[in-house]
Amino acid sequence: MTGENTFSPSDQAFSANSNLHITIQEGSQNSEQLLENENNDLENDCEQLFEIEGNEPESERDDASDQLFDIQSNDHENDGGDINEHLFEIEGNDHESSRDDRTIIDYQNGGSQEKAYPPPVVGLEFDSYDDAYNYYNCYAKELGFAIRVKSSWTKRNSKEKRGAVLCCNCEGFKTIKEANSRKKETRTGCLAMIRLRLVESNRWRVDEVKLEHNHLFDPERAQNSKSHKRMDSGAKRKMEPTVDVEVRTIKLYRTPVVDAVGYGSSNSNEGEINNLVDRSKRLKLKNGDARAIYKYFCRVQLTDPNFFYVIDLNDEGYLRNVFWIDSRSRAAYNYFGDVVSFETTCLSNNYEIPLVAFVGVNHHGQTILLGCGLLADETLETYIWLFRAWLTCMSGRPPQTIITNRCKAMQSALAEVFPRAHHRLSSSHVMQSILENMGAIQEYEAFQMILSRTVYDSIKVDEFELAWEHMIQRFGIRDHEFIQTLYDDRERWVPVYSKDTVFAVMPNFQKAESTNPFFDGYVHQQTSLEEFLDVYDVVLEKKRQEEAHNDFESRELTPMLRTRCYYELQLSKFYTKDVFLKFQDEVVMMTSCFSITQVHTNGPLVTYMIKEREGEEIMRDNNRNFEVMYDKAGAEVRCMCSCFNLNGYLCRHALCILNYNGVEEIPFQYILSRWRKDFKRLYVPDLGSNNVDITNPVQWFDHLYRRAMQVVQEGMISQDHYMVSWQAFKESLNKVRLVADKHV
């Protein structure tokens, strides 16, 4: 998901006391409360202790958005201040785990006094078509419009519904016959709609959303519409979308001071520590590491007010886990949070620093950082803590797909924290582990070739199963325990089982491709934590400069065309350079496709069989057949190779079918905004809704702050931008002061 469509806020109350509770509704753009960092003494930042203060509301309103809280730096008498002097404790109701975490995140059931039905977003899933219809109907009723079914389609030779388009009832225009009737014209050509599709898991998924209406809402007329009249009072309980929109409670409080190395109270001696604390349950840090982390966090917070971090301490006050993320990464998740890779290279290879990283892919196919952590161990409890901390930071919006290495504890944690996300294993890592375990096998090179062909070239499940059976029989590895374990888990790493899963060109899931860790070349096995923190900002800045350079090239340079196909010219105007070159290869390969045959027709849905020639020689045995379905009514096309899901752009087979049917331009639903060079991306805090309560000063602050951050981000592009932004700020301040003077 790109973050263009988000959920509306749900607010809860919190009190201003020493155990301040702030409830955050996940999925809400306004769920991130603004923290105001008032550091008065930069030189003594390591001696400061954060104190959480809540401002009492002027009216007794049960609304968290009506509260504002500050994080203020206060001088501490102890000059040995440490990172562990403050932390977030996230607490809830379920404590199934045996450990009593200082930092626990848990779900609670909480009601919303705002909108009960958030706007639809791509990736929402429902248990049935009726649930999806009822949800959109309730959302429409709450907003003030009515809906109808624009189109739907069924399974071949069956009445089983496979997809549908639900639209605003103002969609389209009257026919000539209808125009002559006396009925009042209500259709305005409105484009608001959602497209639903039945996926392999027998769930209904939203794969296209348009929220904009071209007309005013009329709640009274909508109330009397057919769709709303059919709604029974008991249906509402079934209409909630199955997306992670829960309420978390975050408790912030002061903890006892611990020593600078993070091993316990400064009053304790080493012998007592060894007797009281299991070192395996705490972060392995060297002398000065904890102080280095704290100094870094304090320094970043001065320049990045939306920087976020969470500290996890055990019962004895020892540092166990750390998670942090900068504002740019938090904003980037709104655009590129559909597919996330979780890197654990440093943990797996016993590096000096136990570093983990959440990594995404931007519009150039370049990896971007979406969060970092330091972990004490690889247990289920630790992974649950980390994933919940990360999810809370991302306003409760889980990714559509998360890719990891094989780890049972991690898999269980993902199932608990991201129950509706698609968990896939890194295909390249699995293949590498197979080859390492089978290094002593006879005919190793032949095994390597057949394995690659079996995994990556199979386009049907049956084809893979037959090829796998032939492989294990030929090489006599049927009873090999490791091979059997991977086969049992094949749905998580073999591409043919993931055709309905979006991967957005995540390199470590593609054929013969693997990606280096995000910090590759900067972090080695012997790299210390202090050395890592010294180069951390350097790495991020280098990545940002690389993205800016790619933006410039994509925007200013015209790519060389290799064919006369209009599809190539069309997308050269939209795609970024790197993505266009990959799509261009598909256009060039259209010449290898031939012999298009229509094999089945079901209304507007037509199924074609297209042959593709493999290799340069024209031989019958080198041809492969690909089944492509085309819906003439909606100009929808889907190939069995699932290139669009795996890569985010259409394959040569689909392009041939569009061309065969006289479609002059690629339909815009197949030009994803995540790959477009003309899509404006601002790496600033999510703006959220423009609906501001004009009686609520806290919402004034929230709205103005976020708008100002937009100007700041734009003003940093160049010196000219800076001068214009600075002048605009000065003029705005003068105008505001004139308004204030009038009321004195």
Taking the alpha carbons of 335, 341, 342, 344 in that order, is the dihedral positive or negative?
A: negative
Q: Rounded mean pLDDT of 405-423?
A: 93
Comparing CA positions, the residue from 369, 359, 489 lying closest to residue 424 is: 489
**Could you say which DSSP state residue 587 is in?**
H
Distance CA 619, CA 596 (A): 17
Partners of 688 in beta bridges:
none
**pLDDT-based confidence at residue 180 (cuts at 50, 70, 90):** low
The pair of structure tokens assigned to 602 is 């079901």
Cα angle for residues 700, 704, 709 (degrees, 5° grid): 155
pLDDT at 24 over 80: no
pLDDT at 86 over 70: no
Q: Rounded mean pLDDT of 99-128?
A: 56
Distance CA 222, CA 107 (A): 35
Q: What is the largest CA-CA distance in the chain?
A: 94
| Contact partners, residue 124, CB within 8 Å, separation at least 6 | 205, 206, 241, 242, 243
Which pLDDT score is estimated for 313? 87
**pLDDT-based confidence at residue 164 (cuts at 50, 70, 90):** very high
Cα angle for residues 374, 376, 380 (degrees, 5° grid): 105
Do 191 and 208 form a contact (C-beta atoms < 8 A)? Answer: no
**pLDDT-based confidence at residue 743 (cuts at 50, 70, 90):** low
Higher pLDDT: 562 or 81? It is 562
Higher pLDDT: 28 or 217? It is 217
Residue 42: count of CB within 10 angstroms of its CB: 11
**pLDDT-based confidence at residue 506 (cuts at 50, 70, 90):** low
Distance CA 730, CA 420 (A): 48
Q: Rounded mean pLDDT of 584-600?
A: 93
| Tens-place pLDDT, residues 370-403 | 999 999 999 999 999 999 999 988 878 899 899 9
Which pLDDT score is estimated for 64? 32
| Tens-place pLDDT, residues 239-265 | 444 443 332 322 222 222 233 333 333
The pair of structure tokens assigned to 168 is 């605003």
Do 626 and 460 form a contact (C-beta atoms < 8 A)? Answer: no
Higher pLDDT: 236 or 619? It is 619
- The helices-and-strands tally (H runs, E runs) of the chain is 21, 23
**How far apart, in Å, are the Cα atoms of 382 and each of 244, 275, 341, 378, 430?**
21, 23, 18, 6, 24
Higher pLDDT: 744 or 63? It is 744
Which pLDDT score is estimated for 158? 73
Which pLDDT score is estimated for 189? 83
Distance CA 133, CA 126 (A): 9
Which pLDDT score is estimated for 262? 36
Distance between start and end Cα atoms, the chain? 48
Give, for 276, the enclosing helix (H) or strand (E).
helix 270-276
| Tens-place pLDDT, residues 431-445 | 999 999 998 888 899
Which pLDDT score is estimated for 28? 33
Which pLDDT score is estimated for 257? 28
| Tens-place pLDDT, residues 516-528 | 789 988 899 999 9
Do 368 and 390 form a contact (C-beta atoms < 8 A)? Answer: no
Comparing CA positions, the residue from 208, 214, 209 lying closest to residue 190 is: 214
Which pLDDT score is estimated for 282? 85
Distance CA 633, CA 605 (A): 8
Which pLDDT score is estimated for 9? 33
As a three-state string, the secondary structure of 565-604 is CHHHHHHHCCECHHHHHHHHHHHHHHHHEEEEEEEEEECC
Distance CA 415, CA 616 (A): 46
Higher pLDDT: 229 or 469? It is 469
pLDDT at 148 over 80: yes
Which pLDDT score is estimated for 498? 85
pTM above 0.85, yes or no: no
Do 610 and 653 form a contact (C-beta atoms < 8 A)? Answer: yes
pLDDT at 354 over 90: yes
Distance CA 643, CA 302 (A): 45
- Arithmetic mean of pLDDT over the chain: 75
Which pLDDT score is estimated for 230? 61
Which pLDDT score is estimated for 331? 87
pLDDT at 81 over 80: no
pLDDT at 686 over 70: no
**How far apart, in Å, are the Cα atoms of 220 and each of 144, 646, 691, 728?**
8, 45, 21, 43
Higher pLDDT: 661 or 738? It is 661
- When mean pLDDT is compared across 61-75, 361-375, 672-686, the lowest value belongs to 61-75
| Tens-place pLDDT, residues 689-727 | 456 667 777 667 767 877 787 788 778 778 888 899 999
Higher pLDDT: 713 or 475? It is 475
Which pLDDT score is estimated for 118? 78
